[in-house]
Amino acid sequence: MNPAPAPPAELSSDQLAAVWRGQAKWWHLGCYALVATAVVVALLEPPGPHGRWPTLVLLGGVALAYTLFGRRAIMREETVYAVLYQLCAWTCLLTIIALDPEFESWLLFFCLFPQIWATFEVRPALIGTGLALLALFTAAVAPADDPGAEVPGALVSVVISFALSAALGMFIHRIIGEAERRAAVIDELRSTRAQLAAVERAQGVQDERSRLSREIHDTLAQGFTSVIALSRAATSALDRGDVATARERLSMIEGTAVDNLAEARVIVAELTPGHLQSRTLVEALVRLTDTVTRETGIRVTSSVEGEPAPLGGNAEVVLLRGVQEALSNVRRHSGASSASVTLAYEPERVALEVTDDGAGFDPATTPPGFGLDGLRARAAELGGEVSIGRGDPRGTRLVMELPR
């Protein structure tokens, strides 16, 4: 068991161990200081029956035992070293008492008893304390001329010493144990936090991939689709000898390519969509519907209900992508001759509705597509929703609602 009192509870196990290793030097200093004090006392007091040297040698044995075994027991919490140290130290002390009963042996109690609790767990420490006190009791009673007369006083002293030592040792162990439990909890929390951070990073990477996939689908892929359709129309016009129409289609191809290039640069720079550069959302919708009308011949109209107001970059991006995806599906799948885009600003929400007069479809039997799934994901990120179904009386109707 570590000897030091508990550091602040916010420390981890590694930090707690480092603090205790740093505080262990005070245990070393205290032990050597007490042994040195005992040496000074032995030199100043009158020599015992066997002279000073046996006492000095045995005190040196205590210091040597601490150097060889005690330091390792306290620093490394190794039971073998703890047992070796306690046996050597207490053997030296009891021998000193036997050789010189008048020597102030109690000086070493201040290091030897705490070291029992510093190097053992609670139960072994209780046993060790009891054995040490029993040995001291025997050493005090046995040499007396009338051992029976010495028993009551020695017994009271032993019981009180054991109670005080056990109470103090168990109190310190409880504090240390609580600090170690808290450190373990902090370790677990830090480990969990690191795992969560790793999961969040992985999720962030996945979200960014999904975002880029949606951006590419909603911008570059649709632009390339327009380029293909316009180039085929230009080729057909040339086959018919209609140079003016071919030139017009080539001009549209150039315009679409310029827009795609702008969108690509925007995606790389992670800015707002090219259609929203220096434009309001309403202006971007008008430009987009006019472009679709020119490129496809489908008459696309746009209208605004309520008072337009800035919605923030993300909401406007999602609404614009919704119009792009809806009109892309109108162009490719519906066979419609007209379509309408309505943007409604309401107090609590903004609603986008795109309808056409094409063939329509049954959402229940149509497999999901990446574009619509991506659109729903975009809306859900902002707390909105997307619904799609049959128009009235025919065609398709897409509605996106976002909170304001």
Q: Confirm if 373 and 380 have CB atoms less than 8 A apart.
A: no
Q: What is the mean pLDDT of residues 219-236?
A: 80
Using CA atoms in the order 88, 90, 93, 97, what is the torsion angle rounded to 10 degrees? -130
Residue 167 exposed, middle or buried by CB count within 10 Å (0-12, 13-18, 19+): exposed
327 — pLDDT class (breaks 50, 70, 90):
confident
* Cα–chain center distance at 276: 37
Q: Which residues, 6+ apart, have CB-to-CB distance to 313 below 8 Å?
A: 272, 276
Residues 113-153 pLDDT 10s: 888 888 888 888 888 888 888 888 887 776 665 666 566 76
C-alpha angle 135/67/115, rounded to 5°?
A: 45
pTM of the model: 0.43
Where do the CATH 3.30.565.10 domains begin and end in the chain? 279-404
Distance CA 399, CA 381 (A): 16
CA-closest candidate to residue 218, choices 369, 357, 387 = 369
Q: In what order do the strands lie in the sheet with 299-305?
A: 299-305, 338-345, 349-356, 396-403, 385-390
Residues 146-159 pLDDT 10s: 666 566 766 777 77
Q: What is the mean pLDDT of residues 226-252?
A: 85
Residue 270, sorted as left (phi over 0), alpha (psi -120 to 50) or beta, turns out to be: left
Residue 271 has what pLDDT? Answer: 46
Residue 106 has what pLDDT? Answer: 83
Class of domain 279-404: alpha beta
Q: Confirm if 282 and 309 have CB atoms less than 8 A apart.
A: no
Residue 144 has what pLDDT? Answer: 60
CA-closest candidate to residue 66, choices 106, 23, 30, 103 = 30
- Mean residue pLDDT of the chain comes to 79
Per-residue three-class SS string for the chain: CCCCCCCCCCCCHHHHHHHHHHHHHHHHHHHHHHHHHHHHHHHHCCCCCCCCHHHHHHHHHHHHHHHHHHHHHHHHCCHHHHHHHHHHHHHHHHHHHHHCCCCCHHHHHHHHHHHHHHHCCHHHHHHHHHHHHHHHHHHHHCCCCCHHHHHHHHHHHHHHHHHHHHHHHHHHHHHHHHHHHHHHHHHHHHHHHHHHHHHHHHHHHHHHHHHHHHHHHHHHHHHHHHHHHHHHHHHHHHHCCCHHHHHHHHHHHHHHHHHHHHHHHHHHHCCCCHHHCCCCHHHHHHHHHHHHHHHHCCEEEEEEECCCCCCCHHHHHHHHHHHHHHHHHHHHHHCCCEEEEEEEECCCEEEEEEEECCCCCCCCCCCCCHHHHHHHHHHHHCCCEEEEEECCCCCEEEEEEEEC
Does pLDDT of 290 surpass 70?
Answer: yes
Residue 357 exposed, middle or buried by CB count within 10 Å (0-12, 13-18, 19+): buried
Does pLDDT of 172 surpass 90?
Answer: no
